[in-house]
Structure 1
Amino acid sequence: MAEFVLVAGAWLGSWAWDEVVPELRAAGHGTHPLTLSGLADKQHLPAGQQTHVQDIVGEVERLDLRDVVLVGHSYSGIPVGQAAERIGDRLTRVVFVDSNVPTNGESFISPWPGERRDMMEEAIDDGGGFWIPLTAPDYAGQGLSSEQIARIVRGSTPHPGATLTEPAVLARPLGDLPATYLKCLLDGPEPTDDVARLLKSEHWQLVQMNTGHWPMFSQPHQLARILHHAIG
């Protein structure tokens, strides 16, 4: 059995995993949903990207977890990917859930075209240093019910902007880590180019879900089963 550390993407907290946790625990796994600094019930804490990396590493060390499976959704793939190499032999696997992946020296927005990066930086400035959450219409076409969308919107909090603009720090190639990449097909049928390159590694595998970018809400039971089988 494994110890799952679950980290949701931008605007979300540990509550995003509420429907995934019981099934993993019923299968005998330790399950540790984590809220990153600056979000949800930790809104009062300042945060940059390395803060989020340390949040994850610190949780593993605080609980003295072994056989760890780090799960990063969306934005959180970036700090999770960095934390994975820092916890050493405690790590069993990393699961990237339709997520971004870290590249040494690059930020969340580094790969974006210049005009889009400028717009994001302006949006963060306009948000007082935060990335303002999406609104209900932004979740259309992602396999979510109106109730699920309302739940996400109601629970979302502004995301600390510095975590999106600070560079990742990796000591070795990400492709060396044992990893599963879960692609949610309603959010695009193909992985991004950086993920496609990583999937050429013998240590990485691709799993697909026929749902949108927030499977912990749209298909939580199927997601839990995929996470369980990822360590098999």
Structure 2
Amino acid sequence: MDIILVPGFWLDASSWDGVTPALKAAGHRTHPLTLPGLDSVDANRGGIGLHHHITAVTAAADAIDGKVVLVGHSGGGAIIHGVVDARPNKVERAIYVDSGPLGEGGVINDELPADGDDVPLPPWEAFEDADLVDLDDGLREAFRARAIPQPKGVAYDQQHLHDERRYDVPATIIACEFPSAMLREWIAAGHPFVAELAKVRDVEYVDLPTGHWPQFTKPGELAQAILDAVDRKGQPATP
């Protein structure tokens, strides 16, 4: 299976380096992406919006023969959902890593402080304690050293969706910060945060307790969770 891996904010394709070896060893073809504006600290991020990232991932999917599995971490979840909407017949499964599908008119995070066209990685004090579980001092130092400013437009732009066939694409939620039981409770309560997720017809939940960056804190466990989801392919989720 071809697996396209979309990083979250401030990260490029190399952020998946701890995850891809296990996927390759299982016989899959991995396609970790560096999205527009994330190729270097000095890149020009002016004018790059959410739809540019969705278009880039859609182009990567179109370049592959047959169906693909999409993996999106954090803000990458909104991006892969845009691709599911654009190519519902191309996607075998969408895997959301500590993230979920972003609905029509939603934004990823327009509260992040911007510096011109850039959204720099905030200081650690700006994050919730749950974000930083297992992210020790060494991992924090390595993360900050590799961090690239996120294009402001990607964080602030509204999501626009067009094809309700997106709800037919099977999804896997790998829940890290928030346990899956909490997500189910929010869905039952009609919480707007999970309104789009609630419309997806086939969803499986996998708990991977750690902070917001499991590709750094628990890469082996994350790789196994992705492998398990890929192996399920289009099979219906068990209740």
Aligned to 1:147: 138
Aligned to 2:175: 183
Equivalent AA in structure 2 for residue 89 of structure 1: N
Aligned residues of 1:13 and 1:39 also touching (Cα < 8 A) = yes
Aligned to 1:160: 151
TM-score, length basis structure 2: 0.82
The alpha carbon displacement at 1:138 in A equals 5.2
Q: Which moved more, 1:146-155 or 1:41-50?
A: 41-50
Equivalent AA in structure 2 for residue 133 of structure 1: L
The alpha carbon displacement at 1:187 in A equals 8.6
Aligned residues of 2:171 and 2:200 also touching (Cα < 8 A) = no
The alpha carbon displacement at 1:145 in A equals 2.4
Aligned to 1:112: none
Distance 1:188 1:229 in 2: 17
| Cα deviations by residue, 1:90-118 (Å, 9 ceiling, x for unpaired) | 21100011114221122224xxxxxxx5x
- Of all paired residues, the percent bearing the same amino acid is 28
Q: In the alignment, does 2:135 pair up with 1:135?
A: no
Distance 2:54 2:82 in 1: 6
Q: Which moved more, 1:139-148 or 1:68-77?
A: 139-148
| Cα deviations by residue, 1:120-155 (Å, 9 ceiling, x for unpaired) | 4xx32xx11211113355566421222211111110
Q: How does 1:82-97 map to 2 (within 5 A)?
A: 82-97=82-97
**What SS does structure 1 have at the residue aligned with 2:18?**
coil
Equivalent AA in structure 1 for residue 210 of structure 2: T
Which ranges in structure 1 are unaligned for 5 or more consecutive residues?
Answer: 110-116
Equivalent AA in structure 1 for residue 148 of structure 2: T
Q: Count residues with an aligned counterpart.
A: 218
| Cα deviations by residue, 1:155-193 (Å, 9 ceiling, x for unpaired) | 001111111222112113453321011110369973363
Aligned to 2:52: 51
Equivalent AA in structure 2 for residue 222 of structure 1: E
Which ranges in structure 2 are unaligned for 5 or more consecutive residues?
Answer: 233-239
Aligned residues of 2:180 and 2:207 also touching (Cα < 8 A) = no
The alpha carbon displacement at 1:24 in A equals 0.3
| Cα deviations by residue, 1:14-68 (Å, 9 ceiling, x for unpaired) | 0110010111000000100001111134834541100000110111223x24231
Aligned to 2:28: 29
| Cα deviations by residue, 1:63-97 (Å, 9 ceiling, x for unpaired) | x2423110111111111101123234321100011
Equivalent AA in structure 1 for residue 98 of structure 2: D
**What SS does structure 2 have at the residue aligned with 1:92?**
strand
Q: In the alignment, does 2:163 pair up with 1:172?
A: yes
Aligned residues of 1:81 and 1:101 also touching (Cα < 8 A) = yes
